[in-house]
Amino acid sequence: MAETVERRILGRMSPSDEEIVINFGPQHPSTHGVIDFVTQTNGEIIRRSIPDIGYLHRGLEKIGESVGYPGFMPFTDRLDYLAAMLANEGYAMAVERLLKIDIPPRAKYLRAIAGELCRISNHWVAVGTMASDIGASTPLTHALREREAINDLLEELCGARLTFNYARIGGVSFDAPEGWREKILRYLDHLESYIQEWDRLISLNQIYVKRLANVAVISRTQAIDYGLCGPNLRGSGISWDTRRDLPYGAYPDFQFEVPVGQGKMGAVGDCWDRYAVRVLEILESAKIVRQALARLPEGEIVAKVSRKPKPEPGEAMARVESARGEMCYYVVSDGSENAYRVRVRTGSFMAMGIIEEMSHGLMIADLIALIASLDVVAPEIDR
Amino acid sequence: MNAQEIHAKLQAQFGDAVGGLSETKIDPFATVKSDKIVEICQFAKTAAGLEFDYCEDVTGIDWPARNLIEIVYHLFSLQHRHQIVLKVETDRAQPCVPSVQGVWKAANWLEREVYDMLGVDFVGHPDMRRILLPDDWIGHPLRKDYQEAGGYHGVTNTRPDPLVRLGHKVEEERKAIAAAAPPPVAAPAATTPSGGFGTDSPPHQPPRASHAPGATTATNPAPAPAAATAPAPDKKESPNG
């Protein structure tokens, strides 16, 4: 069993006499999943760190070619388990574009509400684990407590707490339960006041700020060139949000701000900016949920779609602003009931691509801050 | 700009290296000549009015019937909010396409993934390694004719259906019980209670009489009847299956 496989990644390392090559991962709590950062360091200073990914590759794109269009929906949950609602929504949108169907307004609103709640819960995990990676252990417990409340709300909606499988091709699977609206509003009231406590607890904490400000600054050009998206792109000062700029679903109806990194604590695009964007987005998502609840239209929640849809041959791409940025589903149909090709372009994968360039000259502890600030989730990288 | 205008602009610059725009109503695409792809991308990135600064996706589709692999480039301009889909066709037997990672760094990892999944060689790519699969993996999974190699370094990728195995086990135990028990005489209580699933109370474990002095054989009736089923459980398997 103990066969050694030559790792070609080691060929990219060229340690001098004073340098060593270490595997940071694949099992390490601060790598946010099973990822190996092969790191060449001189003491604490990193010469280069190259992510070795694929430990969680499950061939989801290949599976998509054999399970039928509706059958792939539960697999999208497993793409990004922290923001499964948004991953569901993107896939449903791509197939709906292929089938050229429009979905009922109530379904659009329910998707928006569920998606934004999911984004809030994802961002809680992101900022909580980031604080814990930096060395502050209390905030994570607070963040998980907040997330738990949302998990309860989403469980009430669709019965699941993690892998929701909520969207359907043509709509959503369940209508809002009785009294759900009031429970969400109660939670949002709490959330909006709690954010101030959170900021006092960690966001503005001097030690925390010093660990993050001016660390791993990603410039505007780099962010665009590497195809970063979502909060990572906005952290570098680029005001781009698919929900606002290429609106889909119910989003044209909502008013919300797009927070961008402003370099309040250091340079624009440092780790603190990426962190702060996420905290601010929690409030913006709360705003969207309030608006959606206020205007939730009555009516059907799912359009009439065949159980085994057979789209005409063609291809469609759908972009959805997932919690980790633009998630693109590119679905190709050959006219049969199975997709010919399902491609998922994810924010985490793009974010990992920049680490090699950013890592040069960082301290090892700063690499952890960089990884945490990019908010990657391993199943989404590896698919 | 919409896709037609972008396409016209590219065609004006590169002539017949840029094929016609597909008539599909959803996302139109243009197929371009493989050897011109880098120039076209460079132009699309820098030309005034186009400025495709954002390489959204590079992926591939295998078409065995047409004997080619399509590489699909989704280009986007954050500045102008417009997009275009370009495709490049390459031979299935010797797939190779010039790399555009010099134009957008994002293409570096995206092209590596296409190489990993479809076996397309991107000429000029500085780091053409597999990205998701191990370096010694055989084959490229997103090819339509991909066959799994049947495991990886002794790790199997198949497993017996647990329900089928359970069915066999129940059947064997029934036979063992039937063989062990003398059929005609009155011994119904001994044969029936443990049912078919002998694994719940493994017979080789002694009753815990020594640890629990109060326990007598009356409260722990398992050993005697279970002894009849002793030969049945499969020796290769642990009680937990």
* Most A-contacting residue of B59, B70, B156 (CB-CB within 10 A), to test interface: B59
Q: Is the pLDDT of residue A187 over 50?
A: yes
Q: What is the residue whose two structure tokens read 């590489």? A: B71
Q: Which residues of B50-62 are buried (b: 16+ CB within 10 A; e: fewer)?
A: bebbbbbbbbbbb
The segments of chain B whose pLDDT lies below 70 read 24-25, 182-241
Measured in residues, chain B has a length of 241
Q: By three-state DSSP, how is residue A269 classified?
A: coil
Reported as a single tens digit per residue, the pLDDT across A227-284 is 898 899 998 888 888 888 888 888 998 988 899 888 888 888 888 989 999 999 999 9
CATH number at residue A257: 1.10.645.10
- Any residues with CB less than 8 A from the CB of A225 and at least 6 apart, and which? B53, B104, B105, B106
**Residue A4 binned pLDDT confidence (cut-offs 50, 70, 90):** low
What is the domain range of residue A118? 68-382
**Residue A3 binned pLDDT confidence (cut-offs 50, 70, 90):** low
DSSP strands (E only) in A14-86: 20-24, 36-42, 45-52
- Cα–Cα distance for residue pair A370/A356, rounded to 1 Å: 11
**Contact list, A222 vs chain B (CB under 8 Å):** 105
Q: By three-state DSSP, how is residue A12 classified?
A: helix
Q: Is the pLDDT of residue A134 over 70?
A: yes
Residue A265 lies in a domain: yes
Domain count, chain A: 1
Residue A38 lies in a domain: no
- Cα–Cα distance for residue pair A231/A130, rounded to 1 Å: 14
Residue A50 lies in a domain: no
DSSP string, B99-138: --TTT-THHHHHHHHHHHHH--EEET-TT---SSS-TT--
Closest-CA distance, B14 to chain A, in angstroms, reads 24
Instruction: Please report the ipTM that was assigned to this predicted complex.
Output: 0.86
Is the domain of B118 the same as that of B61?
A: yes
- At A5 the pLDDT is 67
What is the domain range of residue B38? 3-123
Residue A23 lies in a domain: no
- At A116 the pLDDT is 92
Peptide bond into A26 cis (omega under 30): yes
Residue B142 lies in a domain: no
- At B219 the pLDDT is 43
Is the domain of B188 the same as that of B119?
A: no
Q: By three-state DSSP, how is residue B90 classified?
A: strand
Q: Give percent above pLDDT 70 in chain A.
A: 99
CATH number at residue B116: 3.30.460.80
Is the domain of B117 the same as that of B183?
A: no
Residue B164 lies in a domain: yes
Residue type, A82: L
Residue A55 lies in a domain: no
Reported as a single tens digit per residue, the pLDDT across A316-364 is 889 899 888 889 999 998 888 888 999 999 988 988 889 888 888 888 8
- Cα–Cα distance for residue pair A89/A100, rounded to 1 Å: 16
- Cα–Cα distance for residue pair A82/B6, rounded to 1 Å: 38
Q: Which two tokens stand for residue A303?
A: 């359009």
The answer to whether the Cβ–Cβ distance between B26 and A246 falls below 8 Å is no
**Closest C-alpha among A383, A361, A367, A337 to residue A67:** A337
Q: How many CB pairs below 8 Å do chains A and B form together?
A: 101
**Residue A2 binned pLDDT confidence (cut-offs 50, 70, 90):** low
Residue A298 lies in a domain: yes
Q: What is the residue whose two structure tokens read 């972009």? A: A319
Is the domain of B119 the same as that of B166?
A: no
- At B186 the pLDDT is 55
- At A300 the pLDDT is 86
Answer positive or negative: Cα dihedral of B32, B35, B40, B41. positive
A335 in reach of chain B (CB within 8 A): no
Rg (CA), chain B: 33
Question: CB pairs under 8 A, 24+ apart, for B148-157?
Answer: B153/A1, B153/A3, B153/A5, B154/A1
Is the domain of B85 the same as that of B187?
A: no
Answer positive or negative: Cα dihedral of B123, B129, B133, B134. positive
Residue B212 lies in a domain: no
- At A124 the pLDDT is 92
- Cα–Cα distance for residue pair A368/B60, rounded to 1 Å: 33
Residue A25 lies in a domain: no
Q: Show which of B103, B123, B143 is a domain's final residue.
A: B123
Residue B193 lies in a domain: yes
The answer to whether the Cβ–Cβ distance between A353 and B72 falls below 8 Å is no
Reported as a single tens digit per residue, the pLDDT across A281-310 is 999 999 999 999 998 888 888 888 888 888
Residue A54 lies in a domain: no
Burial of A292 (0-12, 13-18, 19+ CB in 10 A): buried
CB B74 within 8 A of CB B44: no
- At B191 the pLDDT is 47
Is the domain of B31 the same as that of B86?
A: yes
Domain count, chain B: 2
A314 in reach of chain B (CB within 8 A): yes
Residue B241 lies in a domain: no
Which residues pair with residue B69 across a beta bridge? B62, B90
Residue B240 lies in a domain: no
CB A383 within 8 A of CB A346: yes
- Cα–Cα distance for residue pair B57/B29, rounded to 1 Å: 14
**Contact list, A340 vs chain B (CB under 8 Å):** 61
Residue B174 lies in a domain: yes
- Quote the mean pLDDT of chain A: 87
Measured in residues, chain A has a length of 383
- Cα–Cα distance for residue pair B27/A313, rounded to 1 Å: 12
- At A6 the pLDDT is 74
Residue B76 lies in a domain: yes
